[in-house]
């Protein structure tokens, strides 16, 4: 099979891991920079033109689309789908996962545990917004943030008010969320491939930080999920339409709460913490479907 990893950077651990896993299983693997693809649309025969050639011999793609290029990246993925190339991540699911509000609405409809969340356009009613999510401390998030950037912990009412007002002043869309203090700066990243949790790690924020993202200096260790956690992770990925997903879960007093479902989850942290060849699991998923 010929597999294209859509990635902007060949040197990234995740990209290299996918290339290696594909080659080990006897496939030809190429890395394609989605931002350098031209999408060619006509009445029939949709194609992608890349570095002087038409990409017409690809059997499957693995999109690794950064949050800053969702629009262009998802258009390239959609083009491959039109060419009947199997994608590890569907373009629609990719787009859905990038909007935290829309994602929470999907998860809520599925009846999954979530931190209570308010979306508001109206900055003047901060008292009502805050009391809706149980009062300060609260979490304030940009709808399209990633790697922990754009997530703020407002410790008291005054801080929360000024942060909400500042974001609104910048016309940035935000959600205000109940702060889950009992998770103590830790969360779970469950890596789902094709309806199964293939690996899970507990991430703990560094001293003085509440965000457990590895990009923010968090530490990872392997963890065995409870049945409820495992079920939540699998259901969250399924409802989001993601065959490959990194599901972030907070352990709360009322059970597992999903905070987000990532559609291009990093492989380095999870492979190193668990020793699982996660990239190999993704390649096997392609083999079953492409
Ligand atoms: P990002 O997309 O930037 O990773 P997340 O929503 O996953 O944004 O939040 C980043 C981190 O902040 C989480 O991994 C978690 O450690 C912490 N966090 C997020 N929401 C909450 C919350 N409601 N209560 C407590 N901690 C939270
Ligand atoms: Mg996250």
pLDDT in the model for residue 147: 86
Task: Give 196 Cα–ligand 1 centroid separation in angstroms.
Answer: 23
pLDDT in the model for residue 122: 67
Query: pLDDT per residue over 36-79, tens digit each?
Result: 999 999 988 999 999 999 999 999 999 999 999 999 999 999 99
Report the distance separating Cα 283 and Cα 2, nearest Å: 11
Report the distance separating Cα 144 and Cα 269, nearest Å: 22
The answer to whether the CB of 176 is under 6 A from ligand 1 is no
Cα diameter, the chain: 60
The answer to whether the CB of 146 is under 6 A from ligand 1 is yes
The per-type count for the chain, helices as H runs and strands as E runs, is 9, 16
Sheet with 186-193, edge to edge strand ranges:
219-222, 196-204, 186-193, 244-252, 255-262
Give rounded-to-5 percent helix, strand, coil for the chain. Answer: 40, 30, 30
CA 139 to chain CA mean position, Å: 19
SS3 category, 11: coil
Q: Do residues 141 and 103 touch, judged by C-beta distance below 8 A?
A: no
Minimum-distance ligand to the CA of 188? 1
Report the distance separating Cα 118 and Cα 63, nearest Å: 31
Instruction: Report which ligand 1 atom has the smallest distance to the Cα of 148.
Output: 3
Prediction pTM value: 0.95
Report the distance separating Cα 241 and Cα 90, nearest Å: 8
Report the distance separating Cα 210 and Cα 216, nearest Å: 10
Q: How many residues does the chain have?
A: 290
The answer to whether the CB of 263 is under 6 A from ligand 1 is no
Q: Tell me, what DSSP letter sits at residue 89? A: S
How far does the chain reach from its first CA to its final CA, in angstroms?
A: 8
Instruction: Report which ligand 1 atom has the smallest distance to the Cα of 218.
Output: 16
Query: What stretches in the chain show pLDDT beneath 70?
Result: 122-123
Q: Which domains does the chain have, with CATH numbers?
A: 2-89 (3.40.50.20), 117-179 (3.30.1490.20), 182-263 (3.30.470.20)
């Amino acid at each position: 099979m010929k597999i294209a990893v859509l990635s902007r950077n060949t040197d990234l651990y995740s990209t290299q891991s996918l290339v290696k896993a594909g080659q080990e299983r006897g496939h030809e693997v190429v890395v394609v920079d989605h931002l350098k693809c031209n999408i060619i649309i006509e009445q029939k025969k949709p194609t992608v033109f890349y570095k002087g050639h038409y990409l017409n011999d690809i059997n499957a793609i693995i999109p690794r689309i950064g949050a800053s290029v969702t629009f262009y990246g998802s258009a390239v993925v959609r083009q491959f789908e039109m060419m009947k190339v199997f994608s590890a991540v569907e373009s629609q699911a990719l787009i859905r996962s990038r909007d935290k509000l829309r994602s929470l609405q999907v998860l809520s409809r599925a009846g999954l545990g979530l931190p209570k969340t308010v979306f508001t356009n109206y900055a003047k009613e901060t008292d009502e917004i805050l009391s809706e999510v149980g009062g300060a401390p609260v979490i304030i998030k940009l709808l399209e943030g990633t790697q922990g950037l754009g997530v703020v912990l407002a410790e008291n009412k005054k801080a929360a008010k000024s942060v909400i007002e500042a974001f609104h002043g910048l016309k940035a869309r935000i959600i205000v969320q109940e702060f889950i203090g009992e998770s103590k700066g830790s969360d779970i990243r469950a890596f789902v491939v094709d309806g199964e949790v293939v690996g899970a790690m507990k991430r703990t924020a560094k001293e003085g930080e509440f965000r457990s993202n590895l990009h923010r200096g968090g530490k990872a260790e392997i963890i065995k999920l409870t049945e409820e956690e495992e079920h939540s992770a699998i259901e969250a990925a399924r409802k989001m339409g993601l065959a490959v997903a990194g599901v972030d879960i907070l352990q709360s007093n009322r059970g597992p709460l999903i905070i987000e479902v990532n559609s291009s989850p990093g492989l380095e942290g999870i492979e190193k913490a668990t020793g699982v060849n996660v990239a190999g699991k993704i390649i096997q998923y392609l083999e079953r479907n492409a």
